[in-house]
Structure 1
Amino acid sequence: MRAVTYDAYTTDDSRLRAGEVPDPRLGPGQVLIEVRAAGVNPVDWKIMAGGLDAMMDAVFPVIPGWDVAGVVRAAGPDTPEFAPGDEVMAYARKHVVHAGTFAQYVAVDAAACARRPAALGWEQAGGLPLAGMTAQRTLDRLAVGAGDVVLVHGAAGGVGSLAVQIARTRGARVVGTASERNHDHLRGLGAEPVVYGDGLAGRVRDLVPGGVTAVADFVGGQLDTTLAVLAGGGRHASVADNTVEEHGGHWIWVRPDGARLAELAALADKGELTVEVAGTFPLEEVGAAFAASRTGHTRGKLVITP
């Protein structure tokens, strides 16, 4: 099959190679997915740079990618949940960095898979799993519900835009930080936009004089602002800054979980959750997708389409 690989930790995107690699082996409880779309996430290029080496073993050459949407082509032993022809999506992180989703085929644990919602196209479904489940888990840890006022740092990004929508389905009021060019977009999602940068805490306090009850940080480097705008007893969490734990916050990591992913699919089919696709790239242009992701200014999701 064709796939993208790199053969050592590197920050040089020219080390990414598109070429032929062996087909995946299919183990018990797994499905073989023909990849139609695979979302790009910052963790993909951070792993390539060695950023998770202290946490996870890597077996080179590595095929990057943790998101996937595609068609089941085969099921391993004792895998009654899915059959060839099923359209699925998954957050396909494994215990070892090696056989990712930027490829024609990938073997994924059936327990990580959910059926693709009819409301989302392939590219949208491929961009949903990790970003959507990160937003979902963050809001779960914050116990966000009706009556909450939530500040979302990075509300126009891939994770933040999904967090805005999910929080709104739970009855929360949402204030979201973004550049001014994305403010109309945030209003369309149901958030009250504020410009990030110097003076952010004051602008949030102008909107919510009593302080927000929860803060979801999908950017990093926002702890001072977070603490300045939290109401008494407020909760906060970050996916990008583990120092929040020293200040009563939660550092978020999401687990593969097909049942929780199916909940997001249900929201999509009810018209309550959508995924904006910022750009699509073939296997030969994964380096360009990584470069775009590194800018931190992409609205929505970047997606690889093998």
Structure 2
Amino acid sequence: MLTDGVKIVTLPKFAPVDYMNSVKTHKPHVLLLVPPLVMFMSSFPGVKPEYLSSLRTIYCGGAPLGGSDETKMREKAGKPISILQAYGLTETVAATMTPHSLQGKYPGSMGKAIPNTFLKVIAVDDNAGKHLPPDTTGELLIKGPQVMKCYYNQPEKTREAFLNGWFKSGDLVTYNKDGILYIVDRIKDLIKVKALQVAPAEIEEVLREYEGVQEAAVIGIPHKLSGEVPRAYVVPKKDAKIDVNKLNEYVTSKLAKHKRIDGGIVLVPQIPKTPVGKILRRLIRLEYLKERSQDKDKK
């Protein structure tokens, strides 16, 4: 962008008022965002449609952005802006991106393989590496010139990361007949309810669809009968009053029985995330287990 003479505006840190003043003042054509920022812009009352009058394209990465979240952003802008998602890891840099020609056609997708990159979807723990057909969930494997050669001075970790020359992403995905990729969730984050796999991201997107919900995070907690059950942490929008029971009824009406939030819904002021917007479910789970242990000690 610099070599093309593009004006670039950067901020040292995110602050709602400062960010929106920058958007209002500079009238950007393109925004490079992570999902929490997209959700902030679509729901924050201070964001006026006129501030986005010049906006044409949003590039989004770092974590999956749901199809309903894309729709909310376009509704806030009041026009059909392009929202192009990309997927990659530290070990692979970029691997997929939504082409401009397909924008809006597959909401919530991570696009398709970028040039010179090959993708394969296999069953979890399938050492044979058999490629699965479309509309089947499996682990994403990646091959291309941008993929790392190894982890520095960690030969064992490197061996575990590759399967016959393919890098194992650790992400569960599915793809359609057109080769469009959808991220389901991290394998390590899956909740196992009576041997059935539940993706937290699916429940989180349904929670965010409910009026008054700003953000949501879902983890699996121990359960005597089911092994694990989902538990949700919800951040309400400013001045919103959420009836937890009605929210639970809404989610129950949208999801299969084994995906219901039987571990309860908790209203919280914020959800811990990485700088690029990935939910730190491990920290949430550790905090839950700590609180549970303290409650047992009190009894």
- What TM-score comes out, normalization by structure 2 length? 0.27
Quick one: higher RCO (CA 8 Å, sep 6+), 1 or 2?
A: 1
Larger Cα Rg: Structure 1 or Structure 2?
Answer: 2
- What TM-score comes out, normalization by structure 1 length? 0.27
